[in-house]
Amino acid sequence: GAVVSQHPSWVICKSGTSVKIECRSLDFQATTMFWYRQFPKQSLMLMATSNEGSKATYEQGVEKDKFLINHASLTLSTLTVTSAHPEDSSFYICSAPPRLSEQFFGPGTRLTVL
Amino acid sequence: AQKITQTQPGMFVQEKEAVTLDCTYDTSDQSYGLFWYKQPSSGEMIFLIYQGSYDEQNATEGRYSLNFQKARKSANLVISASQLGDSAMYFCAMREGLGSARQLTFGSGTQLTVLP
């Protein structure tokens, strides 16, 4: 089946630093990728839709200047958490749909901001 | 209104028995897709099964089947012959409209525990 990779799998950083998370579709091209956030014992919440060749679409309440998304190619989207603070600590996970009947997720990135 | 409702926060099932995880959805679109995912403690989201709104037959994938009742807007997941490794959080999700480039909306999840 289609594979989506995500890197890093976990990261610990100091408050005020920026963290970049990469999401790659390994065996298919993805013009669209999605970024979700999941807090402990909660469901996944969509943060933004990443579009290759155009600007990302952010969900209401998500600061686009804080969560920078770049869809650099048909197989790579990056999420940069700028000036991270402890409240940004969460599980970030990306997904990509190779076809209508499937949407695969990366393994996720656990971010801890000290 | 919630688009995806999972009313069972937690479920227990004996090993080798079947279990049904409930999911109801709300949409005014005629075209939509329903997904089920398994999330073990590691956090990865494992795709289990898909049902399209125009599919006349219930989807099946190995031990997983989807009981799709369109008029009732329900898409329950049935796991047959439960195994200890099935213990995990299970999420129901919906994609509204046509086109794969549309996001999924998730339910709150059901924590399944398989008892030996």
B64-87 per-position pLDDT tens digit: 999 999 999 999 999 999 999 999
**B104 CB near a chain A CB, below 8 Å?**
yes
Of B79, B90, B81, the residue nearest B112 (C-alpha): B90
Cβ-Cβ contacts under 8 Å, A1 against chain B: 47
Would the pLDDT of A2 be above 70?
Answer: no
Of A50, A19, A24, A48, the residue nearest A36 (C-alpha): A48
Cα(A51)–Cα(B34) distance, integer angstroms: 23
Provide the pLDDT for residue A72: 86
Cβ-Cβ contacts under 8 Å, B42 against chain A: 107
Task: Tell me the nearest-neighbour CA distance from B116 into chain A, angstroms.
Answer: 24
Cα(B93)–Cα(A113) distance, integer angstroms: 29
Structure tokens given for A66: 């804080």
Cβ-Cβ contacts under 8 Å, A110 against chain B: 43
Provide the pLDDT for residue A1: 61
Cβ separation B104–A46 shorter than 8 A:
yes
Provide the pLDDT for residue A9: 96
Of A12, A10, A34, the residue nearest A23 (C-alpha): A34
Task: Tell me the nearest-neighbour CA distance from B34 into chain A, angstroms.
Answer: 9
Question: Which of B44, B100, B103 lies closest to A107 in CB terms?
Answer: B44
Integer-rounded Cα radius of gyration of chain A: 13
Identify the residue whose tokens are 């409240």.
Answer: A87
pLDDT tens-digit profile of A66-108? 999 999 899 999 999 999 999 999 999 999 998 888 899 999 9
Provide the pLDDT for residue B98: 77
Which whole number is the average pLDDT over B76-99?
95
Interface of A with B (CB under 8 A): 1, 31-32, 34, 38, 42-46, 49, 91, 93, 95, 97-105, 107-108, 110
